[in-house]
Amino acid sequence: MTDTTTNAKTTYYLILNRQLGKEEDGKYYFYTNGNWVLDTKCTILDRLMGFDPSEPADSPYAMGNMDIMDTIEVITEQQALQFIADHTAG
């Protein structure tokens, strides 16, 4: 019998110290109201790449903006679980 389970690597992110996100199987999600919701606006990836929406599309400064990249940090799974616990009404 073949094992069909996967060992998906998950990376957790904290945005502006207040929004939890994750990347799993190449997709990005936000933790919102107790659920993981798909990041349909590419907010996480944009921050990771330093995308500056205030720059014109053809600007060499539209990507790699360190100020924007500094708004997101990689955190551990344990830190993500603690964030969820701390922000769960109870």
pLDDT for 3-38, tens place per residue? 344 456 999 999 999 999 999 999 999 999 999 999
What is the reported pLDDT for 54? 93
pLDDT one-digit tens code per residue, 36-72: 999 999 999 999 999 999 999 889 899 999 999 999 9
Cβ atoms of 38 and 31 within 8 Å: the answer is no
Asked if residue 14 is part of any domain, the answer here is yes
pLDDT at 31: 97
How many domains does the chain contain in total? 1
Asked, for residue 27, whether it belongs to a domain, the answer is: yes
Residue 88 has what pLDDT? 82
SS3 49: helix
> Structural domain of residue 64, as residue ranges?
10-86
Give the residue carrying structure tokens 């349909």.
40
Structural domain contains residue 5: no
Q: Has residue 4 been placed in a domain?
A: no
